[in-house]
């Protein structure tokens, strides 16, 4: 496994792989790898000739009040996990390589970036699309892999790829969960033992919404209060939002009959967790 920190070296290496006719699979991450990331990497290794993992904690997607400074970092552990899995290259740039002095260009996907997460974290997706656009130009992938847990991020990146005529396929992989249903996230490591126990209510609330939907309760005005009640059974939980939206536009919908994305964001102490479930159309 090769570790590359220089942008120009990564670009030349990607060019040489492309010249040899190899397909490049790409998994962009902020490190602190867990089974969720590993599932994306496994998929890439299975389907691409070479797999590139990027590790870069992107300051542009954190607001000043967020946890950039304390975002978990352990490069040696990540490197070991990637090597054991069969990753070919880790792209591990310094902040200055991505945002040199005088940096002033941003990529914004309008509309989608302002909904759900975008309402609570106003400049978050501007930071995400900017860095992912840059990483695509550096790593030059044929296929990029993202997780369903960050459903809005995946949708926005797909929109950016279409709008900017990028020749990149996106594969969205299922959310990986703990035994009690909690979606894996690097931020789970911040949860106190009590908050960790209570965080299982998130998946429970989403699964309850799914069974109600499947059993004929498809009115958002009924489902949202039910989800809210279940989340509120966790005494530490502080709900940021519970939303039932169209899975392509992310705009609120009144009924889940034609299918829907149910998305929630919940604080446990200062740790903010997100999760979602896709409801399929019912006949
Ligand atoms: O999902 C993430 O870890 C980040 O938002 C990403 C896509 C690596 C961009 O920094």
3-state secondary structure of 117: helix
pLDDT band at 181 (very low <50, low <70, confident <90, very high): very high
pLDDT band at 279 (very low <50, low <70, confident <90, very high): very high
Kindly state whether residue 67 falls inside one of the protein's structural domains: yes
Tell me what percent of the residues of the chain surpass a pLDDT of 70.
Answer: 100
Tokens of 212: 């109600």
Mutate-to-test residue for ligand 1 from 41, 61, 66, 135, highest number of ligand atoms within 8 A of CB: 61
Tokens of 254: 């009144």
Q: What is the pLDDT of residue 283?
A: 83
Kindly state whether residue 180 falls inside one of the protein's structural domains: no
Residue 117: CB within 6 Å of ligand 1?
Answer: no
Kindly state whether residue 220 falls inside one of the protein's structural domains: yes
Closest CA to 219 of 249, 264, 258: 258
203 has catalytic annotation: no
Tell me what percent of the residues of the chain surpass a pLDDT of 90.
Answer: 98
Residue 274: CB within 6 Å of ligand 1?
Answer: no
CA distance 262 to 211: 13
Range of the domain at 82: 2-173
Q: pLDDT tens for residues 80-111?
A: 999 999 999 999 999 999 999 999 999 999 99
Kindly state whether residues 151 and 36 are assigned to the same domain.
Answer: yes
For residue 55, the CA-to-ligand 1 centroid distance in Å is 9
CA distance 38 to 86: 11
The average confidence (pLDDT) of the chain is 98
- Domain final position from 120, 146, 173: 173
Tokens of 17: 């792989």
pLDDT score of 67 more than 90: no
pTM above 0.95, yes or no: yes
The number of domains in the chain is 2
For residue 247, the CA-to-ligand 1 centroid distance in Å is 20
Kindly state whether residue 10 falls inside one of the protein's structural domains: yes
Residue 143 near residue 168 (C-beta atoms within 8 A):
yes
Residue 186: CB within 6 Å of ligand 1?
Answer: no
pLDDT band at 73 (very low <50, low <70, confident <90, very high): very high
CA distance 188 to 210: 24
Residues sharing a CB contact under 8 Å with residue 283, sequence separation 6 or more, in sequence order: none
Q: Tokens 């489902």 label which residue?
A: 223
Q: Tokens 């989403």 label which residue?
A: 206
Residue 30: CB within 6 Å of ligand 1?
Answer: yes
Q: What is the pLDDT of residue 242?
A: 98
């Amino acid at each position: 496994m090769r570790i590359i920190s220089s942008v120009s070296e990564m670009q030349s290496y990607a060019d040489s792989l492309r010249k040899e006719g190899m397909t490049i699979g790409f998994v962009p991450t902020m490190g602190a790898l867990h089974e969720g990331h590993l599932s994306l990497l496994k998929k890439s290794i299975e389907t691409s000739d070479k797999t590139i993992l990027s590790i870069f904690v992107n300051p542009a997607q954190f607001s000043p009040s967020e946890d950039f400074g304390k975002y978990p970092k352990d490069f040696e552990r990540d490197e070991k996990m990637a090597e054991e899995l069969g990753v070919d290259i880790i792209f591990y740039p310094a902040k200055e390589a991505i945002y040199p002095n005088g940096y002033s260009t941003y990529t914004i996907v309008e509309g989608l970036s302002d909904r759900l997460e975008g309402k609570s974290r106003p400049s978050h997706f501007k930071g995400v699309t900017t860095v992912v656009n840059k990483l695509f130009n550096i790593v030059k992938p044929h296929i990029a892999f993202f997780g369903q847990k960050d459903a809005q991020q995946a949708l926005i990146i797909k929109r950016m790829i279409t709008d900017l005529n990028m020749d990149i396929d996106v594969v969205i992989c299922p959310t990986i969960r703990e035994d009690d249903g909690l979606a894996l996230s690097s931020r789970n490591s911040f949860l106190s033992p009590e908050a960790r126990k209570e965080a299982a209510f998130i998946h429970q609330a989403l699964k309850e919404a799914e069974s109600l939907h499947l059993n004929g309760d498809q009115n958002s005005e009924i489902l949202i209060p039910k989800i809210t009640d279940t989340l509120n059974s966790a005494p530490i939980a502080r709900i940021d939002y519970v939303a039932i939206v169209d899975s392509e536009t992310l705009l609120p919908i009144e009924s889940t009959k034609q299918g829907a994305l149910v998305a929630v964001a919940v604080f446990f102490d200062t740790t903010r967790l997100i999760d979602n479930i896709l409801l399929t159309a019912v006949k």
